[in-house]
Amino acid sequence: FAPAAAAAMARIPRHWPAALQSWVGGKFAPAAGSATRIPLVSAVSGEQYGEFEAADREQVDHAVQVAAEAQREWAKWCPTDRGRVLRRAADILTERNDELAQLETLDTSRPIQETDCVDIVSARDALEYYGGLAPTIGGDFIHQPNRSWAYTVREPLGVTCG
C-alpha cells in the first residue's frame, strides 16, 4: 500500500486549504480563534498531509440551525427538482472521482484501485438511485373498514448529523 499512498500524497489537490474547515451554508466556516486542529496523517507513511479545524459546540449549533433553515426550503421543492440536485451531485462525484479516490487512499491507506472503483462509484450510485427515486415517492390512501380512511405522506422531515 505504501507506493499507492506515496503517489496519492504527491497528488494532493493544491486547491485544498492547509487546514480543512467545516462546510456550513455552502461555504467553509473557519473555527473560533483557538480552535483545536486535528492532524490528518497518512496511515501508511505517518506523514501529516493537512489539518482539520474542530468545531466547538456553538459552531455545531449554528451549523444545525443553518441546515434546518436550508432543509425547510428543500422540503418546499418539488420531488423532481430534488432528484435533479441529487443526480447533479452524482455527476460531480464522477467528474472528481480521481481526486476523491486519491484523497481517500491517502486518508485510509486503501489501494487506489479500490477507492477509485468502489468508494466514489458506490456513493455516486446511491445518489443516482435516490435522485431517480425522488420523483416517484408519494403517499397512500387507505380505506378503513368503518368507512373512514387514512393516508400517508412521504416528505423530507429534518436535519441529520454525522
pLDDT per position as a tens digit, 3-26: 555 555 555 555 556 678 888 988
pLDDT per position as a tens digit, 29-88: 887 777 788 898 877 778 887 888 888 888 889 999 999 999 999 889 999 999 999 999
Q: Which pTM was predicted?
A: 0.75
- Encode 43-81: b = buried (16+ Cβ within 10 Å), e = exposed: ebbeeebbbbbebeeebeebbeeebeeeeeeeeeeebee
pLDDT of residue 127: 95
pLDDT of residue 108: 84
Per-residue pLDDT band at 143 (split at 50, 70, 90): confident
